[in-house]
Amino acid sequence: MALIVQKYGGTSVGSIERIMHVARKVKSFRDQGHDLVVVLSAMSGETNRLIDLAKQVQSSPDARELDVLLSTGEQQTIALLVMALKQIGVDARSYTGPQVRILTDSSFNKARILSIEESRMRKDLDEGRVVVAAGFQGVDENGNTTTLGRGGSDTTAVALAATLKADECQIYTDVDGVYTTDPRVVPEARRLNRITFEEMLELASLGSKVLQIRAVEFAGKYNVPLRVLSSFKDGEGTLITYEEDGMEEPLISGIAFQRDEAKLTILGVPDEPGVAYRILGPIGDANIEVDMIVQNVGADDTTDFTFTVNRNDYEKALKILQSTAEELGARDVNGDVKIVKISVVGVGMRSHAGIAATMFKALADERINIRMISTSEIKTSVVVDEKYLELAVRTLHSAFKLEQELTQA
Ligand code: ADP
Ligand code: ASP
Ligand code: MG
The three state secondary structure string of 64-85 is HHHHHHHHHHHHHHHHHHHHHH
Query: DSSP class of residue 193?
Result: S
The reported pLDDT for the residue numbered 352 is 81
The reported pLDDT for the residue numbered 287 is 87
Ligand number nearest to the C-alpha of 42 = 2
| Confidence (pTM) | 0.93
pLDDT score of 229 more than 60: yes
Q: Ligand 1: which of 209, 228, 345 to mutate, most ligand atoms within 8 Å of CB?
A: 209
Distance CA 203, CA 96 (A): 30
The packing angle between helices 314-328 and 275-285, to 10°, is 140
> Residues 183-223: pLDDT tens digits?
999 999 999 999 999 999 999 999 999 999 999 999 999 99
The reported pLDDT for the residue numbered 407 is 44
The reported pLDDT for the residue numbered 249 is 67
136 CB within 6 A, ligand 2: yes
Mean pLDDT for the stretch of residues 307-322: 95
Mean per-residue pLDDT over the chain, rounded:
94
- Of 294, 269, 276, 282, the C-alpha closest to 319 is 282
Q: Ligand 2: which of 70, 150, 173 to mutate, most ligand atoms within 8 Å of CB?
A: 150
Query: Measured in angstroms, how far is the CA atom of residue 210 from the centroid of ligand 1?
Result: 4
CATH of domain 3-174: 3.40.1160.10
47 CB within 6 A, ligand 1: no
Which atom of ligand 1 is the closest one to the Cα of 181? Answer: 23
- Class in CATH terms, 255-399: alpha beta
pLDDT score of 408 more than 60: no
Give the least confident one: 61-75, 161-175, 276-290, 342-356.
Answer: 342-356
Q: Confirm if 384 and 370 have CB atoms less than 8 A apart.
A: yes
> Residues 91-135: pLDDT tens digits?
999 999 999 999 999 999 999 999 999 999 999 999 999 999 999
207 CB within 6 A, ligand 1: no
Q: Confirm if 388 and 166 have CB atoms less than 8 A apart.
A: no
Q: Confirm if 194 and 249 have CB atoms less than 8 A apart.
A: no
Query: DSSP class of residue 365?
Result: H
Ligand number nearest to the C-alpha of 187 = 1
Q: Confirm if 200 and 211 have CB atoms less than 8 A apart.
A: yes
**Domain residue extents for the chain:** 3-174, 255-399
The reported pLDDT for the residue numbered 248 is 61
Q: How many CA atoms lie within 13 A of 67 on its CB side?
A: 26
Count CB-CB contacts under 10 A for residue 81: 23
> Residues 382-404: pLDDT tens digits?
999 999 999 999 999 999 999 98
Distance CA 49, CA 28 (A): 33
> Residues 264-306: pLDDT tens digits?
999 999 998 999 999 999 999 998 999 999 988 877 889 999 9
Query: Measured in angstroms, how far is the CA atom of residue 396 from the centroid of ligand 2?
Result: 30
First and final C-alpha spacing in the chain: 40
Query: Measured in angstroms, how far is the CA atom of residue 43 from the centroid of ligand 2?
Result: 9
Pairing, β 145-147 against β 137-139: antiparallel
199 CB within 6 A, ligand 1: no
Q: Confirm if 398 and 181 have CB atoms less than 8 A apart.
A: no
210 CB within 6 A, ligand 1: yes
CB within 8 Å of 354: residues ≥ 6 apart = none
Mean pLDDT for the stretch of residues 3-13: 98
The reported pLDDT for the residue numbered 409 is 44
Distance CA 266, CA 293 (A): 12
